[in-house]
């Protein structure tokens, strides 16, 4: 799945130019994307760049928490396979830095909860029938 080209309004373009002038621009992009309705993500990422490129920059900068928050965006716009690759890369980096809480959050992304036949939420793969 790739982002379809969406026209970028002059207002959005000006806002992106302003945000990109700050050192914390990637964290701002992550925060804004998480608070923006997913239906508007194509326009946002037409203006700021691909979620994969942003994730790469976050990883290079060691911004592991921001990269973890961004996994759902990568999953929705770039595909589950790429999001899972980034999640595993993040997991390795978080383990090296002893960021175990972040590891738990990444695991929740990799192994989402499911509802059992009894209506209870369970973690992990469904039992074989």
Half-sphere exposure of 116 (CA within 13 A, CB side): 8
Please report the pLDDT score of residue 129 as a whole number.
47
Dihedral class, residue 64 (left if φ above 0, else alpha if ψ from -120 to 50, else beta): alpha
Task: Name the phi and psi angles at 115, rounded to 5.
Answer: -95, 130
Question: What is the per-residue pLDDT across 40-81, written as a single tens digit (0 to 9) for each?
Answer: 888 888 888 899 999 999 999 999 999 999 999 999 999 999
Question: What is the per-residue pLDDT across 92-117, written as a single tens digit (0 to 9) for each?
Answer: 999 999 999 999 999 999 987 766 66
**Taking the complete model, does pTM exceed 0.75, yes or no?**
yes
């Amino acid at each position: 799945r790739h982002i379809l080209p969406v026209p970028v309004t002059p207002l959005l373009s000006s806002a992106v130019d302003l945000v990109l002038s700050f050192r914390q621009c990637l964290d701002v992009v992550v925060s804004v994307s998480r608070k923006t309705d997913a239906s508007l993500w194509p326009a946002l990422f037409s203006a700021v760049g691909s979620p994969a490129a942003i994730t790469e920059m976050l990883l290079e900068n060691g911004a592991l928490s921001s990269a973890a928050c961004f996994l759902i965006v990568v999953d929705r716009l770039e595909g589950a396979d790429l999001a899972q690759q980034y999640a595993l890369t993040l997991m390795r980096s978080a383990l090296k830095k002893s960021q175990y809480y972040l590891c738990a959050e990444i695991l929740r992304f990799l192994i989402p909860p499911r509802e059992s036949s009894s209506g209870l939420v369970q973690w992990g793969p469904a039992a074989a029938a």
